[in-house]
Amino acid sequence: ERDRRPTDEELEKLCAHFDGNPRQIIPMSRIIKFAVATAMRQEEICRVTWSDLNTRTKMLTIRDRKDPREKKGNDQRIPLLSVSGFDALALIEEQRAIRGNEDDRIFPYAHKSAGTAFTRACQDLKIEDLHFHDLRHEGTSRLFEAGFEIQQVALVTGHKDWKMLRRYTHLRPEALHAIADRKAAA
């Protein structure tokens, strides 16, 4: 059970590293931000399609989402939110402007190549013990820090029970100030 969350500085360093490399074909900076915004796995990110996107309702269908009980047909619709510091729908629109619709996948890259690029960048930047999957933990934690409840976060992450969702939740104590401020203003 991991509890590693990237710092904002680490995310900024990673994005700057990828954005500053003209030979980098995979838009890793956008993929990293999208992973935090949606709490999606790298394989899911590289598999979602334009036909599964509804820009009007800001919803995205993830086909065959990983589940220990069901391997196929576990499709899930998730809201594309902008509460994590990154706007999921805006990131998709940036991707459309660059890639167009020539491939039905929004991020038409091999997920293992994206994972390898991430690992290599962490090594180059001397960021210790950070895995791409930790971005899913980060996204999940940021949803709770934004004030969402267990059932609401589960609609984004796909977790079926609190026990599994809890493993992905690593709240920072200072985040409680923002939650308390929002509740006091309501």
41 catalytically annotated: yes
Give Cβ neighbours of residue 148 (< 8 Å, ≥ 6 apart). Answer: 83, 156
177 catalytically annotated: no
136 catalytically annotated: yes
The active-site residue, picked from 56, 71, 72, 126, is 71
The active-site residue, picked from 58, 99, 111, 133, is 133
The active-site residue, picked from 5, 13, 142, 168, is 168
Label the pairing between strands 76-79 and 59-62. antiparallel
The active-site residue, picked from 41, 47, 65, 142, is 41
The active-site residue, picked from 13, 33, 47, 159, is 159
The active-site residue, picked from 13, 47, 65, 136, is 136
159 catalytically annotated: yes
Distances (CA, A) of 127 to 2, 12, 17, 47: 16, 12, 12, 27
Q: Which residues are catalytic?
A: 41, 71, 133, 136, 159, 168
